[in-house]
């Protein structure tokens, strides 16, 4: 026996002694949660003298719980990392099993930590990739907008390049063909708004102000927003699918080969048709929504048509009506540009047509709502 050093905790202790080339670490007392702090200090101060053979003697351990086992397991890992070989001596089956369980749980924790670290890394990578892709998409869309305005500038310098026949054809498709569905939808929205508004205002005896609610909400916001969303879903998807199919069939390449500019041939007529048809559709949708609201007010509130128009005239100003119409051409250009841009991005397969058609609708509706929110803030700031 070459030496003897003892570190005692309150209720539990550890002692080291050297036996030839080996170090015997004798544990005693109660290795429980109540003594955790002092036991941890005692383990940290044990001197193994750099011995590679370590014998951990459990002969004097009165009690050990998971906390004590975890402290021992952590210290054993440190000794092993330093090159020591640890052997348990006089450890009961329960004590050995408890230490083994601590090792398994530690491996599980490390595995979860590695998995969590990998998930965080994957999340960061996906976020970075999406950000880069968003930047590229914004740059490509901005380049497309520049190409469209350049084509418009060339066409206005030489009006003979404008395809009026194609423009009129698309106005008919976008506007006249959409009147039935747009009228029915707007009429029902007016009915719903009037019904819900009257139901809430009735609690305060102010049912007549349902007309004010109808006039301001429909003419200023809801009419143009619903119309733009309907056009984005109905017409924008059609534009993207048509141009995308032409791209798959190499018709766009054929146009370039014979000297036709796809911007002037495909994009400009559709944009001009949307810029003309959407404000007219908004006016029509506003009228049908007000008709639906008037029908509900007259039937549900026992008001006459004259009373409806009298209250409406007091609630609505020309600026209320104009604000809705001012937004329409902007929304038309947004929808048309996104639809044509996505159509021209189609490549090689019918699946690509479906993907870009869906993107066209989603992006158009998103941009319409974003710009509508921007308009609302702007008009509020300038007092309109």
3-state secondary structure of 21: coil
Q: What pLDDT does residue 76 have?
A: 78
Encode pLDDT of 186-239 as tens digits: 999 998 888 888 888 777 777 788 888 888 888 888 889 999 999 998 888 888
Q: How far is CA 87 from the centre of its chain?
A: 55
Q: What average pLDDT does this structure show over 248-271?
A: 83
**Residue 346 pLDDT > 60, yes or no?**
yes
**Residue 107 pLDDT > 70, yes or no?**
no
Encode pLDDT of 115-149 as tens digits: 665 666 777 778 888 888 888 888 888 888 888 88
Q: 């498709």: which residue's tokens?
A: 173
Between 1-15, 92-106, 144-158, 215-229, the lowest mean confidence (pLDDT) is in 1-15
Between 105-114, 140-149, 291-300, 357-366, the lowest mean confidence (pLDDT) is in 105-114
Helix axes 179-201, 268-301, angle to 10 degrees: 40
Kindly state the DSSP code that residue 8 receives in the 8-state scheme: E
Encode pLDDT of 42-67 as tens digits: 777 777 767 777 777 777 777 877 77
Ramachandran class of 329: left when φ > 0, alpha when ψ lies in -120 to 50, beta otherwise = alpha
How far apart, in Å, do the first and last CA atoms of the chain sit?
A: 96
Structural domains in the chain, sorted by start: 3-91 (3.30.750.24), 162-381 (no CATH)
Higher-confidence residue: 281 or 73? 281
Q: What pLDDT does residue 1 have?
A: 42
Percent of the chain with pLDDT over 90: 9
DSSP states of 221-287 as a string?
IIHHHHHHHHHIIIIIHHHHHHHHHHHHTTHHHHHHHTT--HIIIIIHHHHHHHHHHHHHHHHHHHH
Q: Please state the pTM of the whole predicted model.
A: 0.65
């Amino acid at each position: 026996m070459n030496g003897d050093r003892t570190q005692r905790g309150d209720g539990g202790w550890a002692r080291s002694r050297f036996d030839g080339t080996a170090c015997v670490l004798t544990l005693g007392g109660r290795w429980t949660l109540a003594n955790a702090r002092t036991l941890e200090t005692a383990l940290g101060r044990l001197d193994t003298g750099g011995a590679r053979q370590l014998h951990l003697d459990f002969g004097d351990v009165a009690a050990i719980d998971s906390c004590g086992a975890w402290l021992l397991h952590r210290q054993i890992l440190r000794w092993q990392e330093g090159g020591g070989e640890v052997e348990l001596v006089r450890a009961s089956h329960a004590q050995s099993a408890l230490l083994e369980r601590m090792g398994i749980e530690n491996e599980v924790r490390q595995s979860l930590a590695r998995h969590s670290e990998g998930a965080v890394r994957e999340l960061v990578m996906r976020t970075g990739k999406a950000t880069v892709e968003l930047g590229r998409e914004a740059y490509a869309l901005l380049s497309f907008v520049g190409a469209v305005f350049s084509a418009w500038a060339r066409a206005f310098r030489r009006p003979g390049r404008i395809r009026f026949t194609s423009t009129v054809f698309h106005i008919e498709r976008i506007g006249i063909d959409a009147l039935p569905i747009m009228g029915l939808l707007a009429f029902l929205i007016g009915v719903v708004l009037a019904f819900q508004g009257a139901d809430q205002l009735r609690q305060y005896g102010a049912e007549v102000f349902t007309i004010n609610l109808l006039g301001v909400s429909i003419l200023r916001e809801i009419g143009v927003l619903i119309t733009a969303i309907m056009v984005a879903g109905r017409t924008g998807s059609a534009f993207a699918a048509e141009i995308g199919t032409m791209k798959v069939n190499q018709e766009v390449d054929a146009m370039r080969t014979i000297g036709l500019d796809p911007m002037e041939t495909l994009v400009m007529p559709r944009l001009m048709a949307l810029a003309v048809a959407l404000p007219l559709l908004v006016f029509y949708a506003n009228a049908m929504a007000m008709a639906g609201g008037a029908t509900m007010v007259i039937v549900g509130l026992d008001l006459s048509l004259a009373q409806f128009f009298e209250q409406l005239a007091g609630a609505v100003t020309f600026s209320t009506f104009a604000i809705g119409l001012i937004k329409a051409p902007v929304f038309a250009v947004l929808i048309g540009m996104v639809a044509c841009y996505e159509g021209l991005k189609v490549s090689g397969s019918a699946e690509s047509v479906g993907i870009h058609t869906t993107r066209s609708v989603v992006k158009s509706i998103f941009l319409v709502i974003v710009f509508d929110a921007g308009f609302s803030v702007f008009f509020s700031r300038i007092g309109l």
